[in-house]
Amino acid sequence: MARTTLAHNDLQALLDSAIAEYGVPGAATGVVHEDGDGRIDLDCVWSGITNQATGYPVIGDTLFQIGSISKIFTTVLAMQLVDEGRISLDTRVREILPDFRVQGASDITEHCTIRHLMNHTSGIEGDAFPDNLGRGDDCVAKYVRYIGDFPARSPLGGPLSYSNGAFVVLGRVVEVLRGMTWDEAVRKYIAQPAGFGHIWTLPEDVLRFSSALGHNRAIATDQSTFPAPVRPSPVWNLPRSSGPCGQISASIGDLLGFVSVFLRDGIAPNGTRLLSQHSTMLMTEEQVSLRDQGIENIGWALGWQLPNWGDEPAFGHGGATEGQRANVVVFPKRGLAIATLTNADAGTQMAAQIARTVAKREAGIAPPPEVVMNDRAFTSQEIADMRGTYAREGEEYRIVEGGPTGLLMVIEPDGDDGPMGVRLTLPLHHTDQGFYAVQRPDQRTPTEIALLRVDRSSCAPYGVYLAQGHRITPRIQ
């Protein structure tokens, strides 16, 4: 299908409108096309301010935190080692990190592989972010020891549960085999050879450039005001020990330059090969299905997630740090990638709107399927099946009887809610797609939920899980 190019001025108008609609102080967005012969066409726009406290404007090279999109960089670093024959996807982590362990889970300790780390089926606790491991060059190694004191989140091999911890372990594998810190490896093996001068990991480097500060909601999350007012985040970044799962800051141009590697069979815009064609392909092929956890994603590849765009193949990733949100989506058959960087927590929804609009205008791609809630009452059996307390590190839900449908979901605040997060008690609904959902007052679209049953013979001590946001949370009582 022939594409129609979205005019630069139209892209700018789209961004300006989205910033106003979602109440985001500043953002940058861009589109990259690959013409089928390896040539790329990049268009980026930006608007707003980097920080409410200073009023400094966003410029073309402003660095935003890309959060979990950093996992794709860590995956590339590991796949380069695969290309060199130093490891394989089936190499056991313990072969590289003899002290690696997961408390009470001997099968994960002994048999977790590089592949398990990359596709979120390792069972390693996913959302622990210690702030007491320091900023020394040994902080990633300390994190691997720290995360080993947590029990398994889920069984080895699945169901999939998104794990930041697994990617810090993967980053440590890179450190050991390269003989350098993860931060140095990002510069030496990706940024420098590809000519990306605006990709950095450490604050002392980021702050040499124009850089964005995150912003959080300034009113409680149970207030439905939209867009909610925001205020500067009291924290700039995640601890250095969490670097391999989410610590990269990038300009919109260099982020899209990196993403274009996956439209050019592993070759960077400057002609440098970063990955073999085979490894590039493997990173975008489905490894694990997510179809039993809702309609948002169809599965996961190696590093990349596979969002559900109907019949249109796609891969992508989102990122969330302290009041900053990022997103990238790639349509490989169209040679098209779209990325948005923002400095407020409403940026997740804003980036999704921009992606839908650009995909439609650029390539006639229909929007992703939407979660549709209905008011069908829960049966007595469904109530008995779902009622209970579900908890994991930093997250707790309770499903109790009550409300218009027969069940209520009580959500305790977590780190992603920011300083104004409060307990939410929301009606639980069936969805037309066969899952469940709640409507949070601080979001425009429903939050999809699934119920999973897992074989108790595995290492995990639980049999029932709540799946939400590609994470699973066990029922503990």
Query: Exposed (0-12), middle (13-18) or buried (19+): which is 425, by Cβ within 10 Å?
Result: middle
Both tokens of residue 293?
């956890």
Give the per-residue pLDDT at 461: 56
- 1-368 adopts what CATH topology? Beta-lactamase (3.40.710)
Can you tell me the distance from the alpha carbon of 154 to that of 461, in angstroms, rounded to the nearest whole number? 9
User: Which structure tokens are listed for 245?
Assistant: 């799962």
* Distance of alpha carbon 320 from alpha carbon 417, whole angstroms: 11
Rounded-to-integer distance, Cα 412 and Cα 178, Å: 41
At 418 the pLDDT is 83
Q: Which part of the chain has CATH 2.40.128?
A: 373-474
Report the pLDDT value the prediction gives residue 454, as an integer from 0 to 100.
83
Fold of 373-474: Lipocalin (2.40.128)
- pLDDT score for 456: 56
- Tokens representing 81? 């080692």
Backbone angles phi, psi at 382, to 5 degrees: -65, -40
Sign of the torsion formed by the C-alpha atoms of 298, 322, 215 and 207: negative
pTM of the entire predicted model:
0.96
pLDDT digits over 310-327, tens only? 999 999 999 999 999 999
Burial of 208 (0-12, 13-18, 19+ CB in 10 A): exposed
Which regions of the chain carry the CATH code 3.40.710.10? 1-368
d(Cα 137, Cα 240) in Å, to the nearest integer?
A: 9
Which parts of the chain register pLDDT below 50? 1-3
What is d(CA 25, CA 41) in angstroms, rounded to the nearest whole number?
A: 28
- Catalytic residue among 17, 47, 68, 154, which? 68
Write the pLDDT tens digit of every residue in 344-399: 999 999 999 999 999 999 999 999 999 999 999 999 999 999 999 999 988 999 99
Q: Is-catalytic flag, 68?
A: yes
Question: Residues 6 or more apart from 386 whose CB is under 8 A from it?
Answer: 378, 399, 407, 428, 436, 451
